């Protein structure tokens, strides 16, 4: 009986290299295959001429490229944001966003189809949990964005395993935020394997400071990240500075209360020596008053922290309104009194529902 083929994008480089000898080939062929895929964007066995035909035949019998089909592509009116509704092998769907702001190219990718965390203002939370993504499904989103940037979305291979020539000019994917659909620390193993693949120095080679993982406050995951010294930026969604206010917006706060979350964050900072980015969705009349800002200041004072303020983006299931520019600026000024740096996120891609908290699919 034929065995099921493995998704190439599920494999770390070490795993791929270990397969070649099992198939009766030297590992160097697998290394070259890895370079074809991650440096040149190749997905077509016929267009990997530096690999022996027998190796290609065996690899093709064992592996497949789990490309994600584009069901819908939308572009924002300002042209800076592209959103892709991507279809998984089981017809489930996820969304991935390509952003071109302030000279940087960033992919916002999903870690789950749907989400179990139920944040009230989030469209993904409103749709509920569908399933975890595999490492390959996470990596394939990055590869899709990389292909868009190369202009090779068709998967047509470039016939070099060593990447682009000096004469080629195209943007490269340099930043990834795991802030799409899903809670990354609820799918820890798959997300970390995907990060290992994305960071591999002989592949996409995304730098340690170029991958940001956003959690709603899954404490066991934060502690594990700290203990494993994972080289990623950590963003923690706060939204409320008291247990009661936070739990009203973020239901999982009942499971992982604010004081325990703060202890986990301090543990992370102490172990990693890295700052935490705290996300605060600014909702008019809900959590955007000067008193709220002082409460955030008191909570985070003395921490190696930055606060990212995100004026609420509209979703069908939540009626709140975003905080205005002036009130947001005042919020920032108060945070500064406590020595807390902050940013106000630009509202981009809202017209195609590609902003923070807006990603959702029908299945």
CA distances from 288 to 110, 179, 311 (A): 28, 22, 10
> What is the per-residue binding string for ligand SF4 in 210-229, x denoting contact by CB under 6 A?
------x-------------
Least distance (Å) between residue 1 CB and ligand SF4: 40
Tokens 């604010």: give the residue: 258
184 near ligand SF4, rule: CB under 6 A: no
State whether the Cα torsion 299-301-304-308 is positive or negative.
Answer: positive
Nearer to ligand SF4, 215 or 292 (CB): 215
d(CA 337, CA 330): 11
Which residue from 348, 344, 330 is spatially nearest to 292, judged by alpha carbons?
Answer: 330
Q: What are the residues whose beta carbons fall under 8 Å from the beta carbon of 255, sequence distance 6 or more?
A: none
Largest Cα–Cα separation, the chain: 69
H/E run at residue 69? strand 69-75
Least distance (Å) between residue 13 CB and ligand SF4: 30
- 119 assigned to active site: no
Question: Structure tokens of 190?
Answer: 């798959």
Least distance (Å) between residue 129 CB and ligand SF4: 9
Return the CA Rg of the chain: 21
For the chain, helix, strand, coil in percent to 5 are 40, 20, 40
- 153 assigned to active site: no
Whether 247 contacts 253, CB under 8 Å: yes
146 near ligand SF4, rule: CB under 6 A: no
Least distance (Å) between residue 273 CB and ligand SF4: 26
Nearer to ligand SF4, 11 or 213 (CB): 213
119 near ligand SF4, rule: CB under 6 A: yes
Least distance (Å) between residue 280 CB and ligand SF4: 12
Name the active-site residue from 43, 62, 95, 337.
Answer: 95
Nearer to ligand SF4, 42 or 117 (CB): 117
The residue from 97, 122, 139, 283 that contacts ligand SF4 (CB under 6 A) is 122
Nearer to ligand SF4, 253 or 344 (CB): 253
Q: Say how many C-beta atoms besides its own lie within 10 A of residue 48's C-beta.
A: 26
**Nearest-10 Cα torsion for 255, 258, 263, 265:** 90
Nearer to ligand SF4, 135 or 221 (CB): 221
The residue from 41, 66, 125, 311 that contacts ligand SF4 (CB under 6 A) is 125
Residues numbered 99 to 118 that lie near ligand SF4 (CB under 6 A) are 115, 117-118
Whether 276 contacts 268, CB under 8 Å: yes
Q: Which residue is nearest to ligand SF4 (CB)?
A: 125
Name the active-site residue from 115, 122, 265, 356.
Answer: 356
Nearer to ligand SF4, 41 or 114 (CB): 114
Least distance (Å) between residue 141 CB and ligand SF4: 15
Q: Which residues of 21-39 are buried (b: 16+ CB within 10 A; e: fewer)?
A: eeeebeeebbbbbbbbbbb
279 near ligand SF4, rule: CB under 6 A: no
List residues binding ligand SF4 (CB under 6 A).
115, 117-119, 122, 124-125, 181-183, 216, 357
Residues taking part in catalysis: 95, 356
């Amino acid at each position: 009986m034929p065995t099921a083929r493995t998704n190439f994008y599920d494999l770390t480089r070490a795993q791929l290299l270990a397969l070649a000898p099992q198939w009766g080939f030297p590992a160097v062929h697998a290394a070259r295959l890895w370079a074809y895929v991650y440096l040149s964007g190749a997905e077509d066995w016929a267009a990997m001429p530096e690999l022996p035909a027998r190796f290609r035949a065996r690899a093709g019998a064992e592996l497949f490229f789990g490309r994600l089909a584009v069901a819908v592509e939308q572009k924002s009116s300002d042209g800076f944001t592209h959103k892709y509704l991507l279809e998984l092998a089981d017809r489930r769907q996820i969304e991935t966003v390509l952003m071109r702001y302030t000279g940087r190219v960033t992919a916002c990718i999903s870690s789950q189809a749907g989400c179990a965390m139920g944040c009230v203002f989030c469209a993904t939370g409103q749709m509920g949990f569908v399933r975890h993504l595999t490492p390959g499904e996470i990596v394939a989103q990055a590869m899709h964005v990389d292909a868009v940037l190369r202009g090779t979305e068709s998967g047509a291979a470039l016939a070099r395993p060593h990447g682009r020539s000096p004469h080629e000019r195209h943007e490269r994917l340099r930043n990834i935020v795991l802030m799409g659909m899903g809670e990354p620390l609820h799918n820890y193993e798959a997300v970390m394997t995907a990060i290992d693949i994305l960071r591999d120095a002989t592949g996409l080679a995304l730098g340690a400071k170029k991958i940001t993982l956003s959690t709603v406050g899954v404490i066991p995951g934060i502690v594990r990240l700290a203990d494993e010294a994972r080289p990623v930026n950590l963003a923690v969604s706060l939204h409320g500075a008291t247990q009661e206010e936070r739990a009203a917006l973020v239901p999982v706060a009942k499971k992982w209360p604010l004081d325990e979350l703060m202890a986990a964050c301090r543990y992370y900072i102490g172990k990693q020596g890295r700052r935490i980015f705290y996300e605060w969705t600014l909702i008019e009349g809900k959590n955007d008053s000067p008193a709220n800002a002082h409460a955030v200041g008191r909570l985070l004072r003395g921490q190696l922290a930055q606060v990212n303020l995100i004026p609420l983006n509209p979703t069908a299931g939540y009626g709140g309104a975003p905080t205005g520019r002036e009130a947001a600026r005042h919020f920032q000024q108060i945070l500064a009194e406590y020595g807390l740096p902050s940013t106000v996120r630009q509202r981009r891609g809202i017209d195609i529902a590609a902003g923070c908290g807006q990603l959702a699919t029908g299945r």
